[in-house]
Chain A
Amino acid sequence: MTINIEDIASSTLEKMTAAGFDTAQVSLSVSEQDELNIAHNEASLLRSTEDYSLSLMGLLDGRKASAALTDLGDHAIEHGVADLFERAKMAPQDEANGVSASQTGHIVQGPQESSLDLLAIKVEELLEYRAAEASKMNIDEGAAAYYLAREQVLTSEGSALSCSVGCYGLSVMGTAVEGDQSSSFNYTGGSANDLSTAHASQLFGIGDMLKDTENQIHTKPLGENFVGEVILAPTAVTDLLGWLFGQLSDYALISDGSVFKGSVGEIIASNLLTIRSRFDAPGHAAYTNDAFLAPALELMSEGRLNALLPSYYGSRKTGLTHTPVGSGWTVDAGDSAKADLIGSVKKGALVNRLSMGSPGANGDFSGVIKNSFIIEGGAVGPALSETMISGNMAQMLKDISGVSRERLDTGSEALPWIRIPGLHFS
C-alpha cells in the first residue's frame, strides 16, 4: 500500500473548493485484507484483497450531493468532482446540511501488519477442536481474517481526522448433522486486536456454539400456546439493542416515528440495563462518517435514556442534540449467575437467535426462536423447532428482570444473558 492518502485527500478537497462548493468533505480509505477460509471442515481458500474508497460530499447554497469511487486517478477524480457539482446544483436546498468543523485527531489502533501464520494457527485450532470435541458439527463456512484500513477525512471547515486501524476476525457458520437429521444452522464470530491470547474455541463463544449446536439436531415443537419467560442469549440481545438504536437514530427521528423521541432523561427500561459505548472496538476508529470525534458515551444508565443518536444532519433537521456515534456497544454485567437466571425460569426458553421480520415501528414483533431450548422448572430441556415468540420490544426493555454476570465479548459488543417475562409462545 503505497498510496499517499493525505496528499490525495488534500488535493481532492482543493479540487472541490476550486469547483465552487461552499463547503465539502473528503474521505479516502485504503484497506487490505487477508482471509483464510474454511469450507466443509477443511481449509479451502486464501483470499487477499486491496481496496480504495474515495468519498466526496459537497454543499452548494445548502444543496448537497455525494459520490464514492475507487479510481484514484486525477482524471477520474476531476470528473467525479465536476459531476458532483452539477448534481448538487439540482438538489433541493436544505439548511440542515452542513459539514463538521475543527475536528482533529489521528488514531492508530490494533495490529498494523498481517500475520498469515496466526491466521493459519487459528484455522488449525478450529478444525482440530471440531474434530475432537464437536464431530457432528459441520463447519459450512468459516474464516480467520486480518483487516487493515488507513483513512484520511478532511473538511473545508478545518476538520482533519485520520486513522490506521487493524484487527483480526474469526467466524464460524455451520450445521450439526446426525444421519439424515440436521440442526438449524448456527454461527458466531468476532474481532480482536490479537487472536493469540486464547485458543480459537475460547474466542467469541465459538467452542460453546459448536458443542451447543450438536444438541440441536433433535428438536421438538412446543405444541402449545402460553405466556412465558425467555433468557435472551447475547446473540439475541443484539436484536433487542438493534431495534433500540434504530429508534434513536436519524430515520426514526426525522420521520417522527421514534417512540423515544421525547424520552431523554426518562426511564425507558429496567434499572438492570446500562448501555455504554465501545467506540474504540477492534477494527473501528472513534469518529463518525460525518467527521466528528465520538467520545465515550453512557447511552443508558440503569434504564434512564441519556441521549438520542442523530447525525449532524439529523440534529440540525430535528433540533435535537447532536450525539456523535461510532461502532461498538456494551451492556453492563448484572449480578446473577447465568445458571441462576435459567434456573429461575418456570416455563419458557433459552433463546440463542431470533429469526424475524423487522419489528413494527411501534416495537411489536413476532419471530421464530432458533438454536433455542425449552426451559421448564428451571431445567434446560430439548431444542425447539417451529416455535415463535411475540411481544413488544419497548415493553421487553422495561420488563427485563435479570442480567447475568457472564458476558459474551465479540469485540464490537460485550453482552450478557438477559431474562424477560411476558412473551407469548406459539
Chain B
Amino acid sequence: MSNSDLEAPAGVDYAETRQHEVRKTHMAMIDGNLTSNTQSSAGGVSARVFDKGYWGFASVPAMDKASAGKVARKAADNAAAMHRFGDRPTLDLPLDAHVGEHGYNARTPRSQKENIELLEELNGICTTKYPSLKSASFILAEEAHAKHFATSNGGRGLNCINRAAFYIILTAEDQNGQPIELMQPMSAKGNLANLDLSLGALEPQLEELYQHLQAKRVAVAPRGGEQTIVLSPELAGMLAHEAMGHPCEADLVLGGAVTGNLVGKPVASELITMVDFAHSYKGEELMIPVYADDEGTEATDAVLIENGIMKDFMTSRETAAKLGIKSTGNARAYAFNDEPLVRMRNTGILPGTSKLADMIAGVENGYYLMKTGNGQADSTTEFMFGITLAYEIKNGKLGSAITDTTVSGKAIDMLKTVDAVSDDMYWECNGYCGKKQPMVVSMGGPALRAKVHMGGQ
C-alpha cells in the first residue's frame, strides 16, 4: 500500500491513519541450549478520529487500501458512539502537520548462522574459561518499526525506529551456595550488525562481568537509610527516565502528578539539566529518532529541567491543548493496533564537568551504584530502581561489592542533593518502557553524586 492510500477520514475535527509494521528477531541460549529462535512480523493499519470532543480508534491486521478505508469508517463510528456520554466542550487541538519521510539505511543484517555461531562461541568461552559459573545465558534481539502516517490536517510521512540489543547473563553461587546473577546489556540504533559483537569486543566484557560476579560472591549487605551514592552513567539514564521523565508526561500531569505545580520552580541542583530529545543531540542522531510522532506532529526537544528549574512537559495534541502549551511530538504507539500515548523518546541528563574518579574519591562513606535491573516511577516523583551491582566507597576508594538492593527517593528532593555531575554521556535503548503499551525508548546520562534512600538493614 502506498502512502497516498492512507486517507484520513473526512468530516471530523481531526483524524489520522497509520500503517505500521514491526519485525523482530529473538534468540536466546541458556548453557548451550538454544531456547528461543524466533522471527516475527506484525503489521496492520489503524485510524483514529477526534470529533466533538471524543476519540474513536480502529485497526485491522491488513495493509491494503480497502482495510484503510474500513478502519477509517469504524473509527469515525466509534467517535460518534461516544456521544452517549453527553456533549463535551470543544477542544482546539494544535494542528501543525509534519511532512517528510525519515527512513533508515540499516546495515546488512547478521545471518542466522553468524548469530548461532556467536552464541555457541560465547558459551564455549564460558565453559572453558569460567568453569565455576553455574550458568551462562546470551540473548540477541532486534526490532524494526516502519510507520507511514497521514493526518486530516495535511501531515504525511514515514518514521522508522530500529534498535538492537544483546544481553549476557552470568550466574554463580555465593559463599553460602546461593545463586547470584549479573546481566550486561548492550544496545544500538539499527540492527544487530550495528553492535560490535566481535569476540575481541565481547571477551573483555565477559571477563569484567565475571570479575564483578566474583566480587558479588562475597558481597556485604548495604546499610539501609539515606546514603551518599555515586550513580554510574548507566544508571543516571534510568533515573532521568523514571524519576522525572514519567512525571513530566503531560497525561500524568493532567492526572495530578506533583510536577504540574512546579513549573518555574527549583526541583534540582543547578547542575542538572534534563531533556527529552526528539531525535538528535549535539548534531548526532540518537538511538530512537522521532522526527514526527504518530499524530504527525513535528517532534521537538522537551527541556524538562534547565539548570535545576522545572520547565516543560512532553505532550500530545490533546494534552497540549488541555494544558495550553505547545505540542512536542511525544504521541507514540507501539504497534499498529495501539493508539498514540504520551511517551518519552531519548531522555537524558546532560553531562557536567566533574570526573567520575574524582567524584568517587570525594566520598568518605557511601556506595558506587553500577548496574540496575529495572525501575519504577510515580506521580509524586518518588522513584525506585533495583541495584544489581554496587560497591562500597570508603575513604574515597571502592571496597566490597554489596548484595542486591533497591534505591528510592523523591526525585524533586534527591536531585537537589546532586553536588557533582561527570563529563561522561552514556546512552542505551535496551528493554521496554511500560505504560498500557510497551515502548522502545532510549535514556542517557553522566555519573551523578547525590543522596538517596537505600534498602537494607
Which residue numbers of A lie inside 8 Å of B, CB to CB? 37, 39-40, 42-53, 64-71, 83, 86-88, 90-92, 94, 96, 116, 120, 123-124, 138, 140-141, 174-177, 180-185, 225, 250-251, 254-257, 259, 313, 317, 355-362, 364-368, 370, 385-386, 388-390, 424, 426
| A217 to B: closest C-beta gap in Å | 10
Residues of B within 8 A of A67 (CB): 38-40
- Whether the pair A182, B258 counts as a contact (CB closer than 8 A) is yes
- Whether the pair B404, A45 counts as a contact (CB closer than 8 A) is no
**Stretch from B41-49, B160-168, B280-288, B306-314 contacting the other chain:** B41-49
- Whether the pair B455, A366 counts as a contact (CB closer than 8 A) is yes
Contact of A176 among B62, B137, B256, B337 (CB under 8 A): B256
Show 27 residue pairs from A and B whose CB-CB distance is below 8 angstroms, ordered by the A residue.
A45-B82, A46-B78, A47-B56, A49-B58, A64-B37, A67-B38, A68-B39, A70-B41, A70-B43, A83-B39, A138-B256, A140-B256, A183-B380, A184-B378, A184-B379, A225-B224, A255-B30, A256-B135, A256-B171, A355-B384, A357-B385, A357-B388, A361-B180, A364-B404, A365-B406, A386-B453, A390-B224
- Whether the pair A255, B137 counts as a contact (CB closer than 8 A) is yes
Residues of B within 8 A of A43 (CB): 54, 82, 85
Does B328 make an interface contact (CB < 8 A)? no
| B82 to A: closest C-beta gap in Å | 6
Contact of B256 among A65, A177, A367 (CB under 8 A): A177
Q: Known A-B contacts: A116-B81, A140-B252. Give 16 more (CB < 8 A).
A: A45-B78, A45-B339, A46-B57, A49-B59, A50-B59, A174-B255, A254-B33, A255-B31, A356-B406, A357-B375, A357-B406, A360-B179, A361-B171, A386-B408, A386-B409, A388-B453
Task: Considering the complex, give the chain B residue whose CB is closest to the CB of A38.
Answer: B85
**Stretch from B6-14, B112-120, B149-157, B189-197 contacting the other chain:** B112-120
Q: How far is the CA of A174 from the CA of B257 in the complex (A)?
A: 10
Q: How far is the CA of A360 from the CA of B374 in the complex (A)?
A: 12
If A68-B40, A259-B179 touch, whether A388 touches B137 (CB-CB below 8 Å) is: no
Contact of B60 among A50, A69, A183 (CB under 8 A): A50
Q: How far is the CA of A66 from the CA of B36 in the complex (A)?
A: 8
If A83-B39, A116-B81, A367-B384 touch, whether A45 touches B57 (CB-CB below 8 Å) is: yes
Task: Considering the complex, give the chain B residue whose CB is closest to the CB of A385.
Answer: B382
Q: How far is the CA of A124 from the CA of B82 in the complex (A)?
A: 12
- Whether the pair A48, B57 counts as a contact (CB closer than 8 A) is yes
Contact of B55 among A46, A69, A250 (CB under 8 A): A46
| B332 to A: closest C-beta gap in Å | 16
If A255-B30, A356-B406 touch, whether A87 touches B61 (CB-CB below 8 Å) is: no
Residues of B within 8 A of A362 (CB): 174, 178-180
- Whether the pair B258, A390 counts as a contact (CB closer than 8 A) is no
| A393 to B: closest C-beta gap in Å | 12
| A58 to B: closest C-beta gap in Å | 10
Task: Considering the complex, give the chain A residue whose CB is closest to the CB of B44.
Answer: A70
Q: How far is the CA of A26 from the CA of B116 in the complex (A)?
A: 24
Does B134 make an interface contact (CB < 8 A)? yes
If A45-B82, A46-B78 touch, whether A317 touches B33 (CB-CB below 8 Å) is: yes
Residues of A within 8 A of B266 (CB): none
- Whether the pair A68, B42 counts as a contact (CB closer than 8 A) is yes
Q: How far is the CA of A124 from the CA of B224 in the complex (A)?
A: 46
Residues of A within 8 A of B178 (CB): 259, 361-362
If A91-B34, A360-B403 touch, whether A426 touches B54 (CB-CB below 8 Å) is: no
- Whether the pair A390, B57 counts as a contact (CB closer than 8 A) is no
Task: Considering the complex, give the chain A residue whose CB is closest to the CB of B134.
Answer: A256
A-B contact count, CB below 8 Å?
254
Q: How far is the CA of A356 from the CA of B375 in the complex (A)?
A: 7
Residues of A within 8 A of B211 (CB): none
Contact of A140 among B255, B261, B404, B408 (CB under 8 A): B255
Residues of B within 8 A of A358 (CB): 373-374, 386
Q: How far is the CA of A183 from the CA of B256 in the complex (A)?
A: 9
Task: Considering the complex, give the chain A residue whose CB is closest to the CB of B28.
Answer: A251
Q: Which 5 A-B pairs have the closest CB atoms?
A: A357-B386, A366-B455, A426-B224, A140-B255, A255-B135
Contact of B116 among A92, A174, A386, A389 (CB under 8 A): A92
- Whether the pair A255, B382 counts as a contact (CB closer than 8 A) is no
- Whether the pair A366, B254 counts as a contact (CB closer than 8 A) is no
Contact of B74 among A42, A48, A183, A368 (CB under 8 A): A48
- Whether the pair A92, B54 counts as a contact (CB closer than 8 A) is no
| A319 to B: closest C-beta gap in Å | 14
Does B387 make an interface contact (CB < 8 A)? yes
- Whether the pair A180, B261 counts as a contact (CB closer than 8 A) is yes
- Whether the pair B457, A44 counts as a contact (CB closer than 8 A) is no
If A313-B35, A356-B386 touch, whether A257 touches B224 (CB-CB below 8 Å) is: no
Q: How far is the CA of A71 from the CA of B120 in the complex (A)?
A: 33
| B87 to A: closest C-beta gap in Å | 12
Q: How far is the CA of A425 from the CA of B258 in the complex (A)?
A: 26
Residues of B within 8 A of A64 (CB): 34, 37
Q: How far is the CA of A68 from the CA of B26 in the complex (A)?
A: 11
- Whether the pair B254, A250 counts as a contact (CB closer than 8 A) is no
Does B372 make an interface contact (CB < 8 A)? yes
| B369 to A: closest C-beta gap in Å | 12
Residues of B within 8 A of A365 (CB): 404, 406
If A360-B404, A362-B174 touch, whether A48 touches B58 (CB-CB below 8 Å) is: yes
**Of A87, A366, A389, most B-chain CB atoms within 10 Å:** A366
Residues of B within 8 A of A370 (CB): 378, 382
Does B410 make an interface contact (CB < 8 A)? yes
Does B456 make an interface contact (CB < 8 A)? yes
Does B88 make an interface contact (CB < 8 A)? yes
Q: How far is the CA of A386 from the CA of B410 in the complex (A)?
A: 8
Task: Considering the complex, give the chain B residue whose CB is closest to the CB of A254.
Answer: B30
Contact of B58 among A47, A94, A359 (CB under 8 A): A47
Q: How far is the CA of A389 from the CA of B82 in the complex (A)?
A: 45
Q: How far is the CA of A320 from the CA of B378 in the complex (A)?
A: 42
Task: Considering the complex, give the chain B residue whose CB is closest to the CB of A116.
Answer: B81
| A251 to B: closest C-beta gap in Å | 7
Residues of B within 8 A of A356 (CB): 384, 386, 406
Task: Considering the complex, give the chain B residue whose CB is closest to the CB of A219.
Answer: B380
- Whether the pair B251, A39 counts as a contact (CB closer than 8 A) is yes
Q: How far is the CA of A67 from the CA of B261 in the complex (A)?
A: 49
- Whether the pair A424, B456 counts as a contact (CB closer than 8 A) is yes
Does B79 make an interface contact (CB < 8 A)? yes
A-contacting residues, B367-408, CB 8 Å: 372-376, 378-380, 382, 384-388, 403-406, 408
Q: How far is the CA of A390 from the CA of B409 in the complex (A)?
A: 16
- Whether the pair B257, A250 counts as a contact (CB closer than 8 A) is no
- Whether the pair A182, B180 counts as a contact (CB closer than 8 A) is no
| B147 to A: closest C-beta gap in Å | 15
| A216 to B: closest C-beta gap in Å | 10
If A44-B54, A47-B58, A388-B408 touch, whether A257 touches B171 (CB-CB below 8 Å) is: yes
| A253 to B: closest C-beta gap in Å | 10
- Whether the pair B180, A47 counts as a contact (CB closer than 8 A) is no
